[in-house]
Amino acid sequence: MQRRRNKWVAFAAWLGIWLCLLAALALLMLVPGWILPLLLAPLVAWLAATRIGRQTWSATEVAIATIPQRLGSSSVVVVGIAGVVGVLVALLAMAAGFAATLQQSGSDDTAIVLRAGAQTELNSVLDHDTVTLVSQLPMVRHTQAGQPIASSELVVVAALPKRSTGLDANVEVRGVGERAWDLRPKLRLIAGRKFSPGLRELIVGKRALEQFAGVGIGSTLKLNGQDWRIVGEFEAGDANDSDLWGDFEVVGPAYRRGSSATSVTVRLTDASAFESFRAALATDPRIKVDVKTTRDYFNEQSAQLTKLINGLGTAIGLIMGIGAVFGALNSMYAAVAARTREIATLRAVGFRALPVIVSVMLETMLLATLGGAIGAAIAWLLFNNYTASTLGANFTQIVFAFQVTPELLWRGLKWALAIGLLGGLFPALRAARMSVTDGLREL
């Protein structure tokens, strides 16, 4: 009877430990990263103020002091976790950078009009009459001079060699009119001058200049058999930076597109005018178009790839993390085994089980934090602002910079702590359950 009850007690304890562990992991994943330092405060207070806390601290001190004797297995914990956090943060930074580049391109009070069903500018064609009808709607804001802020734009594609590989990649060439500048207030020239209307001149986006060869100011580009001169460089801080811009009236004929446009972007009188703008376009029988706010348009373009990279990054991090947990378990079991006599001595001189458990946990968490910090630091040093490019919705390259945001660094640290928690708890429990007499006899 007694035996059976013991079994149940053991089972209940085991279940309790697992439930606590899962709860702690869930909590760790849910809370925002900046809370972590706040959680540290009560821990420090407990360590400093209570008797048992002070016991724990001295046990931890002993554990930390012996780390140099177990450098090999301790570094497994650190490097394993650094690897997981580094890869995770780098991949998430790629997704964050791509999403930010596209999302910054959009706003709520500008709307883009495409041919019905076209989804992207590449697929869209709007004739001159449609463009005129759209621009004349009353929801479109006007300049001081009384002109509607509506920009009909023509997107065509040029193949340019990438600097990194030398392989041709598609680059967006955008034919724009005077109003394009009013629609993108962030965009400004940083070198050279604007293209002159009517001439075969282009200005190049900052990111495009970084990624593609042969587009520096002063160089000549062959597009569709004709020579174009690059006369300026611009920066907008968003997806526009991947483009080359030329005069709408010149790009169209050069690509045999006549006076047709691929899209019209308008600035609305204010964001709330969008619904009536959409309704006005939908009810006009002369035109068949789709309209979205530019924020929605660019968000949709980034959503799929961002989701994919985030999913991949998490999956890869998870698999690596499982590997790292087992590595940490191994190392911490070995650490506890190596310190058997030390721990037994502590118990013999009156230390309770809790300080021993907490001290092993603290040691693991410390190693994990170190690993997480190293991984995050490496990801930040190597990849923050690292530029890459991929195929966007228009079948052209979108150049973006990786963004290792503080939020991602916190997330990496949280993963490190979760791995430390999993890898430290069971060895800590073993340390506490160890028989004192056997432990003291251990060599």
Partner 1 sequence: MKYLQLVWAALLRRKTRTLFTLLSVVAAFLLFGLLDSVRGAFAGAGASVNGVNRLVTISKITFTMQLPKSLLERIRAVPGVADVTYANWFGGIYQDPKNFFPNEAVAPNFIDAYPEWRMSAGQRAAFRNTRTGAIVGAKLAKQFHWKIGDRIPLQGTIFPQKDGSNTWTFDLVGIYTVADPKMKAQENALLFNWDYFDEARQFGNGSVGWYVVRIADPARADAIAQQIDAISANSDHETKTQSEHAFQLAFLSQFGDIGLIVGAIMAAVFFTLILLTGNTMAQAVRERIPELAILKTIGFTSGSVLGLLLAEAILLLLLGGVAGVLIAGSVAGGLEATTGAVFPPIVGSAAVWARALGLMLLIGLVVGALPAYRGLRLRIVDALAGR
Give contact residues for partner 1 (rule: CB under 8 A).
72-73, 75-76, 79-80, 83, 86-87, 90, 115-120, 122-123, 125, 157-159, 164-165, 167-170, 223-225, 256, 288, 304, 316, 319-320, 322-324, 326-327, 329-331, 333-334, 388-391, 395, 397
- Cβ proximity to partner 1: between 132 and 390 the closer is 390
Query: Given the structure tokens 């597109």, which residue do they identify?
Result: 257
Of 86 and 420, the one with the shorter C-beta distance to partner 1 is: 86
Q: At its nearest, how many Å lie between partner 1 and the CB of residue 18?
A: 18
| Minimum distance of partner 1 from residue 243's CB (angstroms) | 15
Report the distance separating Cα 156 and Cα 153, nearest Å. 10
Whole-angstrom Cα distance, residue 236 to residue 377? Answer: 29
Measured CA angle at 179 (ends 178, 184), to 5 deg: 120
The token duo for 418 is: 């979760």
Q: What is the nearest approach in angstroms of partner 1 to the Cβ of residue 325?
A: 9
Residue 89 C-beta: closest distance to partner 1, Å: 11
Rounded to a whole number of angstroms, the minimum distance from the CB of residue 245 to partner 1 is: 18
Task: Kindly tell me which of 107 and 152 has the beta carbon lying closer to partner 1.
Answer: 152
Cβ atoms of residues 211 and 162 within 8 Å? yes
Of residues 148, 205, 202, 207, the one with CA closest to residue 179: 148
**Strand locations in 129-240, DSSP E?**
150-161, 168-176, 188-192, 201-205, 220-223, 226-235
Q: How far is the CB of 424 from partner 1 (least distance, A)?
A: 14
Q: Minimum CB separation from partner 1 for residue 317, in Å? A: 10
* E strand residue ranges, 177-225: 188-192, 201-205, 220-223
H-assigned helices in 148-205 = 180-183
Nearest to 206 by CA among 405, 387, 390: 387
3-state class of 118 per DSSP? Answer: coil
- Nearest C-alpha neighbor of 215 from the set 172, 261, 153, 152: 172
φ and ψ of 106, to 5 deg: -105, 165
Closest to partner 1 by CB, 75 or 276: 75
**Minimum distance of partner 1 from residue 422's CB (angstroms):** 12
Tell me how far apart the alpha carbons of residues 228 and 168 are, in angstroms, rounded to a whole number: 18
Residue (55 or 364) nearer to partner 1, CB: 364
Nearer to partner 1, 355 or 372 (CB): 372
Report the distance separating Cα 27 and Cα 364, nearest Å: 19
Which residue, 50 or 304, has its beta carbon nearer to partner 1?
304
In the bound state with partner 1, the residue whose beta carbon lies nearer, of 163 and 188, is 163
